[in-house]
C-alpha cells in the first residue's frame, strides 16, 4: 500500500464533524423521548405549585404573557412527548401560579359568579326513564334561566342539572338565585320535587372565549357545593357588595373546602 492509499484509508477511519453532530443529536433525542424520564418529570410537576395540566389548549388560551409563551412551548414538535417540553411547562406552571397568587391571574372586571344544581337528582334519574329526566331538566332549566336573564345575568354554561352564570351586579345575582329557588319549588315530575341549591361569589374571573376560569370561579363552585338543599349561600365578599335590606342573613360560617381561602366565610340568604 503506497502512502497515498494509507492516508485515504486512515481518513476514512476518522469520524467527520457532521457525523459526530448527527450521532450526538440522535442521543439527545433518544434521552429527550425516554418514557421513564418523561414520567419522572410529570411526577415532579405534580409536586410544583399551580396547575399540573397547564399547557393544554384551554389553560393557555388567554393573552397573558405566560399563556402566550406556553403556546409556543406546546407547539414545539407537536404530537411528540418530551422531557424538554415538560420542563419548560413546569417553569411556566410555577410562573402562572405565582401570577394567580399575586392577583395578576384574574380578569379586569368585577362580577358575581353563580352556580346552581339539584340535590338528590342523580339517584332519582337512575330510577326513572329518560323521558321523565328530560322533562324535569327542561322545566328546571326554563325556570332557572328565566330568573337569571330577567336580572340581566348571562348564562355561561349548562352543567347537567345546573348552570353557571355571571352578573355585573351582586344584588341582581342574589335576586336571580332567590327567584330561581322559588320557581323550582313549584315543579314536580313523576313524583319528584326538585330541590335546588345555589352559591354566589364576587370576584374577577378570567374570560377565556365564552367561558370563565380562575380562582374566583373555583371559589364560587365551592360555595355552591357547601349549600344544602333549598339554600342560597353567598360569600362574605359578595355580601359586602350589596344592601341587605329586604334579606334575612344567617350566621357567617367558615368555608372548609380545598382551594378556598382560609378566611372566606359563607352566609345563607333568604327573603325577609
pLDDT in tens, 34-91: 888 888 888 888 888 766 666 665 456 555 666 667 667 666 666 678 878 888 878 8
Range with the poorest average pLDDT among 19-28, 141-150, 211-220? 19-28
Residue 163 pLDDT > 80, yes or no? yes
List, for residues 213-222, the tens digit of each pLDDT value: 888 988 999 9
**CATH code of the domain containing 259:** 3.30.70.1230
Taking Cα atoms as reference points, which of 39, 25, 26 lies closest to residue 83?
Answer: 39
List, for residues 87-122, the tens digit of each pLDDT value: 887 887 777 667 666 555 566 789 999 999 999 898
Find out whether 33 and 80 touch, Cβ atoms under 8 Å.
yes
- What is the C-alpha separation between 33 and 45, in angstroms, rounded? 17
* Domain with 93 in it: 3-101
Q: Is residue 78 domain-resident?
A: yes
Split into its structural domains, the chain has a count of 2
With residue 166 as reference, give the H or E element that holds it. Answer: strand 163-167
Whether residue 227 sits in one domain with residue 153: yes
Q: Check residue 217 and report its DSSP letter.
A: H
Q: Which residues of 219-247 are buried (b: 16+ CB within 10 A; e: fewer)?
A: bbbbbbebbeeebbbbbbbbbebbeeeeb
Q: Is residue 239 domain-resident?
A: yes
- What is the C-alpha separation between 235 and 27, in angstroms, rounded? 55
Highest mean pLDDT among 22-26, 30-34, 203-207: 203-207
Whether residue 130 sits in one domain with residue 96: no
Q: What is the pLDDT of residue 253?
A: 92
Taken in order 32, 33, 39, 43, the sign of the CA dihedral is positive
Domain boundary among 66, 101, 136: 101
Q: What is the pLDDT of residue 19?
A: 75
Taking Cα atoms as reference points, which of 181, 176, 64, 165 lies closest to residue 111?
Answer: 165
Whether residue 155 sits in one domain with residue 79: no
146 burial level (CB within 10 Å; 0-12, 13-18, 19+): middle
More confident of the two residues 238 and 86? 238
Taking Cα atoms as reference points, which of 271, 199, 203, 270 lies closest to residue 234?
Answer: 199
- Above pLDDT 90, what percent of the chain? 43
Whether residue 115 sits in one domain with residue 97: no
Q: What is the pLDDT of residue 71?
A: 67
Q: Is residue 106 domain-resident?
A: no
Angle, CA of 109, 112 and 118, to the nearest 5°: 145
Whether residue 131 sits in one domain with residue 89: no
Mean pLDDT of the chain: 83
Range with the poorest average pLDDT among 96-105, 136-145, 203-212? 96-105
Tabulate helix, strand, coil % of the chain (nearest 5). Answer: 45, 20, 35
Q: What is the pLDDT of residue 38?
A: 82
Residue 165 pLDDT > 80, yes or no? yes
Q: What is the pLDDT of residue 73?
A: 67
Torsion angle defined by CA atoms of residues 254, 257, 262 and 263, in that order, rounded to the nearest 10 degrees: -30
List, for residues 241-270, the tens digit of each pLDDT value: 998 888 999 999 998 877 677 789 999 999
Confidence of residue 32 (pLDDT cuts 50, 70, 90): confident
Whether residue 137 sits in one domain with residue 89: no
Highest mean pLDDT among 3-7, 17-21, 82-86, 175-179: 175-179
Taken in order 255, 229, 267, 168, the sign of the CA dihedral is positive
- Above pLDDT 70, what percent of the chain? 79
Q: What is the pLDDT of residue 160?
A: 85
Q: What is the pLDDT of residue 177?
A: 98
- What is the C-alpha separation between 197 and 263, in angstroms, rounded? 23
Whether residue 83 sits in one domain with residue 189: no
- What is the C-alpha separation between 259 and 145, in angstroms, rounded? 28
- What is the C-alpha separation between 262 and 116, in angstroms, rounded? 23
Q: What is the pLDDT of residue 202?
A: 97
* Mean pLDDT (whole number) for 226-240: 96
Amino acid at each position: 500500500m503506497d502512502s497515498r492509499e494509507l492516508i485515504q484509508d486512515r481518513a476514512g477511519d476518522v469520524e467527520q464533524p457532521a457525523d459526530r453532530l448527527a450521532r450526538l443529536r440522535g442521543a439527545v433525542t433518544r434521552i429527550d423521548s425516554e418514557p421513564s424520564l418523561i414520567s419522572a418529570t410529570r411526577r415532579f410537576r405534580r409536586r410544583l405549585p399551580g396547575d399540573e395540566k397547564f399547557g393544554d389548549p384551554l389553560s393557555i388560551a388567554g393573552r397573558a404573557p405566560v399563556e402566550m409563551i406556553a403556546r409556543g412551548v406546546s407547539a414545539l414538535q407537536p404530537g411528540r412527548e418530551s422531557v424538554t417540553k415538560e420542563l419548560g411547562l413546569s417553569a411556566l406552571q410555577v410562573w402562572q401560579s405565582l401570577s394567580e397568587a399575586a392577583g395578576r391571574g384574574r380578569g379586569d372586571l368585577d362580577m358575581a359568579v353563580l352556580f346552581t344544581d339539584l340535590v338528590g337528582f342523580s339517584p332519582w334519574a337512575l330510577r326513572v326513564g329518560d323521558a321523565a329526566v328530560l322533562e324535569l331538566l327542561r322545566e328546571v332549566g326554563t325556570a332557572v334561566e328565566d330568573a337569571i336573564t330577567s336580572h340581566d345575568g348571562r348564562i355561561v354554561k349548562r352543567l347537567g342539572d345546573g348552570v353557571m352564570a355571571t352578573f355585573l351586579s351582586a344584588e341582581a345575582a342574589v335576586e336571580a338565585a332567590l327567584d330561581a329557588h322559588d320557581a323550582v319549588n313549584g315543579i314536580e315530575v313523576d313524583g319528584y320535587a326538585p330541590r335546588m341549591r345555589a352559591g354566589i361569589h364576587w370576584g374577577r374571573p378570567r374570560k377565556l372565549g365564552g367561558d370563565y376560569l380562575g380562582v374566583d370561579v373555583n371559589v364560587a363552585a365551592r360555595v355552591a357545593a357547601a349549600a344544602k338543599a333549598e339554600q342560597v349561600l353567598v360569600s362574605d365578599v359578595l355580601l359586602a357588595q350589596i344592601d341587605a335590606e329586604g334579606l334575612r342573613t344567617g350566621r357567617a360560617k367558615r368555608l372548609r373546602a380545598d382551594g378556598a381561602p382560609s378566611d372566606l366565610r359563607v352566609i345563607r340568604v333568604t327573603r325577609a
